[in-house]
Amino acid sequence: MPMIPLTALQRAREWHLRIWIFCRITVISLKHVNRSKATAKTVQHKEVYIMEMDAWNLGVEPGGLTNKTEIKLLICYLLKSLDAPLSKLQLSDIIQGEGLANYFELIQALDELIRDDNVRMNLEDTDEMLTVTEKGIDSVENLEMDFLPRSVKEKAVNTAIRLQTLARRKRENKIDVEKVENGFNVTFFFGDEKTQLMKLTIYVADEIQVETVKKNFLEDPIKLYSEIITSLTV
């Protein structure tokens, strides 16, 4: 089976993980440096502190969240604001994709929310789906105005709605990919479970183009269908 290229977000996660591991190894090494001189100890402790701060702030854009309490509130606010549950992967894509928090801080914050019954996680098929509890809602309503910047909340909710819309379109609009000589045939099916309105097959040269046309199709399949019909009937 052909290897599907990593997305930019997946590459960023892998890079952040490598840097974080390097930083932690460096921190451990620094802790074993000769502590015989007071000046050496002072320099060592400063370096350890800086390295740890850098590791836990990886991937956070200016204006993003670096405090775990803020990250917990953002998770609860996001789950409260949406009509449907989010998967754990979607939550990570939203917060990391917008540079709102560090991946490791996010995972720790989510684990603590689940442990303290602010968020519940249920397995649906192979997805870990997240919902906020009444306890989590109470925390958000009491604290979010004091802790969460409006720009962060709006960015997170808008990204979540976009991802949920794409997920719904993937369920409603089937895409088949067939490997052929020197490339791929990509077939798009317009319609729903009961009615097939159109089937469109195009040829592309490589896996990168496969992912590009799939992404562009799912951005607005109704618009594409309407433009094709208009071109054929006018």
Domain layout of the chain by residue ranges: 8-56, 68-171, 174-233
Q: In this predicted model, what pLDDT tens digit does every residue of 2-57 receive, in sequence order?
A: 444 555 555 555 555 555 554 444 444 444 444 444 444 444 444 443 344 444 57
Q: At what angle do helices 103-115 and 38-56 cross, to 10 degrees?
A: 80
For range 112-129, the mean pLDDT: 90
Domain 68-171 classification at class level: mainly alpha
Distance CA 189, CA 199 (A): 5
Q: Is the pTM here over 0.75, yes or no? A: no
The amino acid that residue 34 corresponds to is N
pLDDT confidence of residue 9: 55
Which residue has better confidence, 161 or 144? 161
Residue 193 is predicted with a pLDDT of: 66
Whole-number average pLDDT of the chain: 78
DSSP code of residue 197? E
Average the pLDDT over 69-90 and give the result: 89
